[in-house]
Chain A
Amino acid sequence: MNALQQIWTVMRKEIKVAAEFRGQWLNVFLTPLAFIAVMGVTFGDGGAPTAAVYLVNEDEGRLGRQIVSALRNEPTLDLEILPSRSEADRLVGEGRRMAAIVIPSGLSEAVLTEQGGAIEVIVDPARAQSAGVVLGQVQAATAPMLIDAEVERGVRTAFNTAPETFGFEAADLEALGVDLETVERFLTAAIRGVVSSQVQDAIDDPLVRIELKPASDAAPRQAPTIFDYLTPGYSVFFAFFLMGLMAEIIYEERVGGALRRIFTLPVGKASFLLGKMLPYALIAMLQIVVVFGVSSLLFNFDLGDAPLAFTLLVVATGLAVGGLSILVAVLIRSEGQANSIPSLLAVVMAAVSGALFPSIQLPALAQLTPHYWAIQGFLSITALGGGLTDVALHLCVLLAVAVTTFAVAVWRFQPT
């Protein structure tokens, strides 16, 4: 109980002392928004968003297999194959992934009938809007095959009902020594050839391509934008600038003798450091919320539909920022170090992690930074419509970072 009161006392003191450093607050809260705005305007929709969906193939025929492989080759879709429609239905209902694509049984045959067939997309009703993205992507991926099937069905239907549509009389054909079936096959192949090459052209030609576009004012939001990357990236990047402030204050407490006095009092190292760290963790959390909020208002990006997962991710990220920062602050031994190492580290970590720009990162090292896990976590929620299970790993990694860095800080901390 006494330790809790001491932690609270240290927290209040720390906030009062830190509040004096006004420039730092500007840096932490406003600079990320400025960067996001500039980068967003400069690079526009340069990101590579993907949608996480389930795929169920109940069709035994050739078309089903073709569609599956086409969808697999679609870079904007992150597929998980499920064995049954009922399971997909349940998982989407739980909000695990934003949609499930179901290829119903008998589709291969059905497309050749007059009624035709349909690919079904099961969407989470809470995220019906974002599911539009999936529909577009499915259409884009399956267009060639569907047109193919369409041609085949059209030719067959025409011949079966009225060969004269094509201007032939059965008798004429017989006179020429060819049977109806041969003509049908020939025509199907010919038409398919023409149409298919046009479809291929259409796919290569962006004019006709079904494209994913960021939301305009009129249209509902269609796809993740670069802001989905930049907002968490710059938020975390600049939250780490708190590290310099923490280092500076600890340095002043050390040379000014405050640490000496505090540790001639019955105060534990862990309580003291926790009291010092928590305010910055809370400030980092507040900053993330503010930056996301402003960013979503100004740049119109979707915060996702998983408030619990989002909140937990904010908390875990704040704690990771606090833990790593207190560790660095505790290890710093001179004013020169306090002025240089934290900002250097903040920039290097951001650059390595991909926080500066989605395509800039060192793949092997990125995963060593808390930035990476925070960004990927937020991305799964805001851009991909993920929920708690999608960010469980991210939460665990961030909390592990927070706990281990804090433990090492307590271990290495020398008050004198």
Chain B
Amino acid sequence: MPASILEAHNLVKKYGDLVAVNDVSFTIEEGEIFGLLGPNGAGKSTTISMLSGLLPPTNGNAIIAGLDVVRETAKVKQMIGVAPQELALYPTLTGRENVRFFGELYGLRGGALSERVDEVLGYVGMLERANDRVQTYSGGMKRRINLAAALVNHPRLLFLDEPTVGVDPQSRNHIFESVERLNREQGVSILYTTHYMEEAERLCHRVGIIDRGRLIALDTPRRLIESLGGGVIQLGLPTADESVRSAVAALPAVRAASFLTPEGASLPEADRTSATGGQRKAILKIEAVHSNEALLQVLHYCNEAKLQILSLDLLEPNLETVFLNLTGKSLRD
């Protein structure tokens, strides 16, 4: 039996006509940090809600440590820790009172509770400010208490929903280090959602890319980036001309070429341009086999065809580019 701490099978969540999560399946191995990367509204939080027993799935099921999340919710809940995307703290209580409150709800009492509360507060580096009210903390400090509260029950599986939103660089680093240490030293498995691709690249062993409720790619960050091949070039042109696209796609160093549309939606030809600095232009996305050669060939073609180049970008090979390549839009606007 493979050591999966979590198996999600064909999860679906519908809100009326809106399909927030659409047939999502993945597994998280014991000791793995698994990233869910996706833009706003992709369905990351909804997926976590279903996996943590907060929301019943419309369809599909999930197994955590061999237990069905819906049927054995109480047992599952003892084993997981959740740091919600919202701060989920009481602003007028102190950091310590907040963590104690959640610890008590897990059934911790007396000395064991006090000890564990101090331990997790120390873990996130908040012991000194623990007796101040949460409302007096910076955004980063609040996030650290949010993380501490999710750790109080020694979870085997931790759900961190965008744990670095609204956080200064110092706290962000602290959170990264805490997450890495938890994983390395205590073997805690982690589901980490974010729309910052650098976070996913740095922390996650594997990343699932989710867009509009669907899981559209799943692999290690390295292999996802490698799938880009020779890189991606973005060429700004005055019009979205199909003959230009096919000519570029036929160039030897080019694997594929397509016009980007705002939001990646298929719009009428005339609208397939975006206004930039008052000037309308079409963006041709070119996947290269070799970026240098492709660049030369594209420039040569434009020169021959007397095409006006409005802009030219050679995109870094990273997860952001992977996402753009898969969806035709960026992770953040």
Contact = CB atoms under 8 A, between A and B. Distances in A.
B82 A13 contact: no
Interface string B61-87: 000000000000110011010111111
Given A9-B104, A416-B54, A416-B55, A264 B82 contact: yes
A276 to B, nearest CB: 13
B102 A265 contact: yes
A17 interface: yes
B88 A256 contact: yes
Nearest to A275: B105
Interface in A249-266: 255-258, 260-266
B120 interface: no
Contacts of A260: 49, 54, 82, 84, 86, 88
Interface in A1-31: 2, 5-6, 9-10, 13, 16-17, 20
Nearest to A9: B104
B87 A257 contact: yes
A17 B77 contact: no
A191 B53 CA distance: 93
B107 A261 contact: no
A257 B109 contact: no
Interface stretch (B36-44, B90-98, B176-184, B195-203): B90-98
Contact of A13 (B52, B83, B90, B107): B90
A415 interface: yes
A260 B82 CA distance: 9
A306 interface: no
A255 B86 contact: yes
Contacts of B73: 266
A206 B243 CA distance: 109
A267 interface: yes
Contacts of B153: 265
B149 interface: yes
A20 B86 contact: no
A257 B54 contact: no
Given A5-B109, A9-B101, A265-B105, A257 B88 contact: yes
Interface residues of B, number: 34
B235 interface: no
Contacts of A257: 84-88
Nearest to B53: A264
Contacts of A266: 73-74, 77-78, 105-106
Contact of A17 (B86, B90, B150): B90
B89 interface: yes
Contacts of A255: 86
A262 B87 CA distance: 12
A258 B99 CA distance: 12
A267 B105 contact: yes
A17 B93 CA distance: 7
A256 B89 contact: yes
Contacts of B109: 5
A260 B55 CA distance: 10
A111 to B, nearest CB: 76
Interface string B25-56: 00000000000000000000000010011110
B92 A13 contact: no
A256 B105 CA distance: 18
B329 to A, nearest CB: 28
A10 B90 CA distance: 12
B105 A262 contact: yes
A106 B52 CA distance: 85
A5 B107 contact: yes
Contact of B101 (A2, A13, A415, A416): A13
A258 B105 contact: no
A13 B86 CA distance: 19
Nearest to A267: B105
A13 B88 contact: no
Contacts of B80: 264
A255 B86 CA distance: 8
Interface in B275-297: none
Contacts of B52: 264
A261 B74 contact: no
Contacts of B105: 6, 9-10, 262, 265-267
B131 to A, nearest CB: 14
Instruction: Name the residue among A10, A13, A16, A264 with the largest chain B CB count within 10 angstroms.
Output: A264
Interface string A265-299: 11100000000000000000000000000000000
A233 B7 CA distance: 58
A41 B106 CA distance: 54
A10 B91 CA distance: 16
Contacts of B89: 256, 258
A242 to B, nearest CB: 18
Given A2-B107, A6-B105, A260-B54, A265 B86 contact: no
A221 to B, nearest CB: 46
Given A261-B149, A265-B105, A16 B97 contact: yes
A264 B106 contact: no
15 contacts: A2-B107, A9-B101, A9-B104, A16-B90, A20-B92, A256-B86, A256-B88, A256-B91, A257-B88, A260-B54, A261-B83, A263-B54, A264-B159, A266-B73, A415-B54
Given A9-B105, A256-B90, 6 more contacts: A255-B86, A256-B86, A256-B87, A257-B88, A261-B88, A266-B106
Interface of A: 2, 5-6, 9-10, 13, 16-17, 20, 255-258, 260-267, 415-416
In the A-B complex, the 10 residue pairs with the closest CB atoms: A257-B86, A257-B88, A261-B88, A264-B82, A9-B104, A257-B84, A266-B77, A264-B52, A260-B84, A20-B92
